Structure 1
Amino acid sequence: MKYSKATNYALHIMLHLAVTSPDQRVGVQQLAEQQDLSPTYLSKILTKLVKAGMIESSSGANGGYKLKPDWENISFLDVIDAIEGTTTLFGGCLNNDPDCMIQEIMFSAEKKMEEELRHQKISEVAKKTTVVL
């Protein structure tokens, strides 16, 4: 099981915004330099976070990205779903067997993982973070 690099970057970007500037706009160039990413690649990640309603963007001289006012409620699972989508990790059983024990176990494990990620809030991690990311 592996999430994409984009998800890893998205989680770090959200935490960075929460720690350094939750109420201030940050330009894509500044974020790209801080995360050591190309602005083009970063823009694709930021677009998904905007569409998911986690951050807002504005253009112009004072433009950039910032967290939405209710950002304290954003969970790790919210960010993962914004980047990866909400499909299951396990593809199901062979021959679509409805009594497949393997599928039952895999889906149960995935639900437990999702529950843990749903409880982990970006704001709680930000409170514990002492270094600027």
Structure 2
Amino acid sequence: MNTLGWLLQWPIRALVLLLVAALPLGVEMANFGTALWAAILIGLLGTLLIGPLKLLLGPAWAITSLGGLIAPVSFLFNWLITVILFGLAAWLITGFRLNNGLFSAILGAVVYSLISAFVLRALGLVDVEATRAALLSGT
């Protein structure tokens, strides 16, 4: 994937955040600029914090999933990380609010992840994991 494709992800993700805010999930977004900053911050936080969060949650994950043998548990831990990143971005950005606290963070993060993945794949843009890998490897 080229740099232009990677850069196009952020405005698309911002539009998805605006869509999530329009749904009755308790997520509030002031405007497109706020959504753009939120999308960028969620991506950056994911890139920077995914390792430490997996390390922190790793022992609990290993015990509850029997070392990854129970796939639904692994799936839930990935969602937990997504909710943490979504909530952290809302806490850091003025104009991005979670009106119902954890409930809004859970619903908003799940809907945001699903719609983003669907739209980005439909447009032929790479998914988040590949983007993080490219950033971390310097390619």
Q: Same fold (TM over 0.5)?
A: no
TM (norm. structure 2) is 0.27
TM (norm. structure 1) is 0.28
Structure with the higher helix share, 1 or 2? 2
Instruction: Determine which structure has more spread, i.e. the larger CA radius of gyration.
Output: 1
